[in-house]
Amino acid sequence: MVENVYNEMLNDFHETLEKTSEDCTQHVNMTACQDDVVNIDKLKDSFVKNMKLTKAPKSCDALYMTPQDEFFMIEFKNGIIKGIENYEINVKIFETLLMLSEKFDKTIKYTREYMNFILVYNESVSHGEKQFEDTGIGLVQKPIFKRANTHMIRFGIHRFKKLYFKDVFTYSKAEFEREFVSKYFTETVPQTVA
């Protein structure tokens, strides 16, 4: 049943992963992948259309279901992630989860077993005083996580792992291409490096 609901959403609200990753204000795409995903923003607009809300809820950008019935909810963030922007990512997660739970007629227990969350950030944007990868902490943490055969979760969203999602990932654009797009999608277009 969940697969049927997903396929219906994909039929009604499909978009390329590249298009869902677009930062319209900066004219930047976070990926060039041409495979279709569910555009959660369009789904949200349809979901609340007849509710007569004074303010529309926030939503993440894309939803993808693997052939193994595992879900990935994806949020692309081209700008700085701290303070209010970090808070808004949390709100997007909660409001999207509630909407999807209703659409799939499933509880959070289901998302905890079958849904993952990915936050894709632009590594060329400073996320604090210094670029994270260039700080001493980042240089020390990366090899430790690699040796432990686990991944580092940034921006405080690790708290969602096991509570609401099966797993949580934070990827730079390059990591997203390597760790996710190359594993799950076929219609990728090489990005030019600026």
> How is the chain split into domains, by residue range?
2-184
How are beta strands 14-16 and 36-39 bridged, if at all?
A: antiparallel
Distance CA 154, CA 81 (A): 10
pTM of the shown model: 0.86
Contact 59, 96 (CB under 8 A): yes
Segment 136-164 mean pLDDT: 73
Mean pLDDT on 63-75? 96
Question: What pLDDT score was predicted for residue 130?
Answer: 46
Report the mean per-residue pLDDT for the chain: 87
Share of the chain above pLDDT 70, in %: 83
Q: What is the pLDDT of residue 44?
A: 97
What is the pLDDT averaged over residues 49-64?
A: 94
The pLDDT tens digits for 163-191 are 999 999 999 999 999 999 999 997 544 55
Rounded to the nearest 10 degrees, what angle do helices 84-104 and 40-47 cross at? 70
Task: Sort strands 167-172 and 115-121 into parallel, antiparallel or unpaired.
Answer: parallel
Q: For residue 76, what are the contacts with CB-CB under 8 A and spacing of at least 6?
A: 20, 21, 23, 30, 61, 62, 120
Is the per-residue pLDDT at 58 higher than 90? yes
